[in-house]
Amino acid sequence: MESNKYLEDITEIKNMMSRSSRFISLSGLSGILAGCYALVGAGVAYTRLKQFSGANYEGFSGRSSALWGTDLMRDLTIIAISVIALAVITGIILTVKKAKESGEKMWDVSSFIWG
């Protein structure tokens, strides 16, 4: 009887500790998908760079300041923003899904650094 009480107390302490130190972790799938988005973005950027350097081969150097303000820079910026946005949106969606499956709130006091 006495040892059963101790086991209940230890179980309750363990549950309190896990709740207080809990943090929302991204699922492994979100990391894999972010990597896939980055690879696709790199492939599209590489193709766009090859097209640009083939069309403007005369006087083109990899460190040319003439690149600023061109369609190439606009395209590369759009690719970078798209990759970042897709990775963040996927991470948020999968984190919300994981929180719902485990029956926990996505944001609570332990989610914040100052909380």
Q: Per-residue confidence of the chain (115 residues) as pLDDT tens digits?
A: 566 777 888 888 877 766 554 555 667 888 899 999 999 999 999 999 888 776 665 555 555 565 666 788 899 999 999 999 999 999 889 888 887 887 766 666 555 555 4
* Residue at 113: amino acid letter: I
Closest CA relative to residue 31, chosen from 94, 78, 79: 94
Question: What value, to the nearest 5°, has the Cα angle with vertex 90 and ends 85 and 96?
Answer: 130
71 φ/ψ angles, rounded to the nearest 5 degrees: -65, -30
**Cα 64 from Cα 99, distance rounded (Å):** 48
* Cut 0.85: pTM above it: no
